[in-house]
C-alpha cells in the first residue's frame, strides 16, 4: 500500500460515497417524512441518467443538469399523486409493494425506449480528463465534479430545510403530519413535493453519475441494494447516519476493489505456504477484491447483530 494508491483511492472513495449519499439522502427524507421506503429510488437514478443522455444530445450536458432532474421530479410527483397516495391507507407494506412495482415498470420503460444494452452517455468536453495528477495517477475532473455537485446539493437542501418556511413545514410534517395539516398546511401537497424532490435528487445523481460510471439498465439494481444497506446501517431515518454510512461504504468498496491481498498472501508473509490441498483453500485464496462485492452486505449483517439501531439511528424502523 503506497501513498499514491491511498490518496487516489481516498479521493475516488469519497466521490463515490458522496454520490451514494446524494441517493440515500433522498431515500431517507422520503422515509422520514412518509414512512415509505421507496424501492424505486435507484430506478429514478437510472431514469435521470437516461434522460440526461438523451437531452444532452439536444441541449447539451450543462442544461441537462437542470432539465433532467426536473423531469424526474415530475415523474416522481405524479406517481405520488396518482398511485402512492391511493395505497397510503392500506399501510406500509402495500406502499413498499407499489414502489417495488414501480421499479419494474421504470426498468421496462427504460428498456423499451433506450434498449437493453448500455448507452454511450459521454462526459462533456468540460469534464473530460484529469483535474490534477497525484503521484502519477490522474484524478478525473468528472469525479471531482460529482463531489462538487453533491456537496452543493446537500448544503442547499440543508439550508432549504432549516432556513425557509417550506422547509420548516416539511420538518414539522416529518414527525407530526396531522398537526401540520390542522394548522392549515396542505400536507398531501407537501408529501408530493418531498417525494418528487427525493426523486429529483436521485435523478440528479444519475445525471452526473451516469457518464462517470456506466449507463445501462442494470445500474438501478446494482446501486439499489447498496443504498438500502446505507440507510439501514446509518440508522433508518437519520440523515447524518446516512452520510456516515455512505462515506464508509464508498471508501471500503473503493479500497477493497483494488486490493489483491488475501489470507493466503498474508500467511505467505509468515512463511506459511497455502496450496490447493490445504483445508479451507477456497476461503483462503479469496482476495479482498474478490470479496469486495459482499462487503456492504456483510457490514449490514454485522451492524444488525451488534448495533441494530444503526450507526446513528434513533427511531426503531
Partner 1 sequence: MTRPFHEFKPYNVGRWLLWTLYALLLIAAPMMFKSSLALTMLSQAGYLVIICLSYNILLGQGGMLSFGHAVYAGLGSFLAVHAMNLAAKGTFYIPLPLIPLVGGLSGLFFAVLLGYVTTKKAGTTFAMITLGVGELVFAMSLMFPEFFGGEGGITTNRAYGKPVFGISFGPQIQVYYLIAFYCFICTAAMFAFTRTPLGRILNAVRDNPERVEFIGYNTQRVRYYAFIIAGFFAGIGGGLAAINSEIVTAEVVSGVRSGSLLLFTFLGGATFFFGPIIGAGLLVLALILLSELSMAWLLYVGLIFLFMVMYAPGGIASLIMMNLRIASFGKLKELWVGYLSLAVTALVALVGAAAMVEMIYHLQLNAALGAELGFMGVRLNATNINSWLGAGFVLITGLGLFELTRRQFLTQWGEIQNEIEKEIKRRELL
Which residue lies nearer to partner 1 by CB, 129 or 221?
221
CA dihedral 232, 235, 239, 244 (to 10 degrees): -80
34 scored as a contact of partner 1 (CB under 8 A): no
Q: Which is nearer to partner 1, 21 or 145 (CB)?
A: 21
Q: C-beta of 224: minimal distance to partner 1 in Å?
A: 9
CB of 229 to partner 1, least distance (A): 5
Cell of 304: 444488525
Site string for partner 1, 273-302 (x = CB under 8 A): ---------x---x---xx-xx-xxx-xx-
Residue 113's CB: how many other CB atoms inside 10 A?
10
For residues 52 and 64, is the Cβ–Cβ distance under 8 A?
A: yes
- Restricted to residues 72-91, the positions that interact with partner 1 (CB under 8 A) are 83, 86-87, 90
Long-range pairs of 92-96 with CB within 8 A, sequence gap ≥ 24: 92/35, 92/36, 95/34, 95/35, 95/36, 96/36, 96/37, 96/39
The contact pattern for partner 1, residues 96-135, with x = CB under 8 A and - = no contact, is xxx-xxx-xx-xxx--xx-x--------------------
Quick one: 104 or 158, whose CB is closer to partner 1?
104
Give min distance, CB of 113 to partner 1, in A. 7
Task: Report whether 90 contacts 30 (CB < 8 A).
Answer: no
252 binds partner 1 (CB under 8 A): no
Looking at the Cβ atoms of 135 and 297, the one nearer to partner 1 is 297
Task: Using CB under 8 A, count the residues that bind partner 1.
Answer: 46
Judged on CB neighbours under 10 Å (0-12, 13-18, 19+), 295 is: middle
The closest alpha carbon to 307, from 253, 238, 256, belongs to 238
Other CB atoms closer than 10 Å to residue 314's CB: what's the count?
A: 11
List of residues contacting partner 1 (CB under 8 A): 31, 35, 37, 83, 86-87, 90, 92-94, 96-98, 100-102, 104-105, 107-109, 112-113, 115, 221, 225, 228-229, 231-232, 236, 282, 286, 290-291, 293-294, 296-298, 300-301, 304-305, 308, 317
Amino acid at each position: 500500500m503506497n501513498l499514491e494508491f491511498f490518496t487516489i483511492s481516498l479521493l475516488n472513495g469519497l466521490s463515490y460515497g458522496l454520490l451514494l449519499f446524494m441517493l440515500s439522502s433522498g431515500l431517507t427524507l422520503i422515509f422520514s417524512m412518509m414512512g415509505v421506503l421507496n424501492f424505486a429510488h435507484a430506478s429514478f437514478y437510472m431514469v435521470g441518467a437516461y434522460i440526461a443522455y438523451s437531452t444532452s444530445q439536444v441541449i447539451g450536458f450543462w442544461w441537462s443538469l437542470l432539465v433532467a432532474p426536473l423531469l424526474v421530479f415530475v415523474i416522481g410527483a405524479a406517481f405520488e399523486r396518482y398511485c402512492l397516495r391511493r395505497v397510503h391507507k392500506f399501510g406500509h407494506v402495500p406502499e413498499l409493494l407499489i414502489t417495488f412495482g414501480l421499479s419494474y415498470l421504470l426498468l421496462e420503460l427504460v428498456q423499451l425506449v433506450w434498449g437493453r444494452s448500455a448507452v454511450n452517455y459521454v462526459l462533456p468536453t468540460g469534464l473530460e480528463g484529469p483535474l490534477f495528477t497525484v503521484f502519477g495517477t490522474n484524478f478525473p475532473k468528472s469525479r471531482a465534479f460529482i463531489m462538487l455537485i453533491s456537496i452543493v446539493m446537500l448544503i442547499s437542501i440543508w439550508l432549504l430545510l432549516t432556513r425557509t418556511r417550506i422547509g420548516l413545514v416539511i420538518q414539522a410534517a416529518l414527525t407530526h403530519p396531522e398537526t401540520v395539516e390542522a394548522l392549515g398546511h396542505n400536507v398531501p401537497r407537501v408529501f408530493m413535493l418531498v417525494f418528487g424532490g427525493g426523486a429529483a435528487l436521485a435523478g440528479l445523481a444519475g445525471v452526473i453519475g451516469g457518464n462517470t460510471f456506466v449507463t445501462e439498465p442494470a445500474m438501478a439494481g446494482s446501486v439499489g441494494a447498496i443504498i438500502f444497506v446505507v440507510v439501514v446501517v446509518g440508522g433508518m431515518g437519520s440523515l447524518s447516519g446516512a452520510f456516515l454510512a455512505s462515506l464508509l461504504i464508498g471508501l471500503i468498496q473503493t479500497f477493497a476493489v483494488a486490493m489483491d491481498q488475501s489470507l493466503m498472501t498474508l500467511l505467505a508473509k509468515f512463511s506459511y505456504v497455502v496450496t490447493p490441498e490445504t483445508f479451507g483453500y477456497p476461503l483462503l485464496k479469496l482476495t479482498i477484491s474478490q470479496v469486495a462485492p459482499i462487503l456492504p452486505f456483510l457490514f449490514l449483517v454485522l451492524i444488525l447483530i451488534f448495533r441494530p439501531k444503526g450507526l446513528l439511528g434513533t427511531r426503531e424502523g
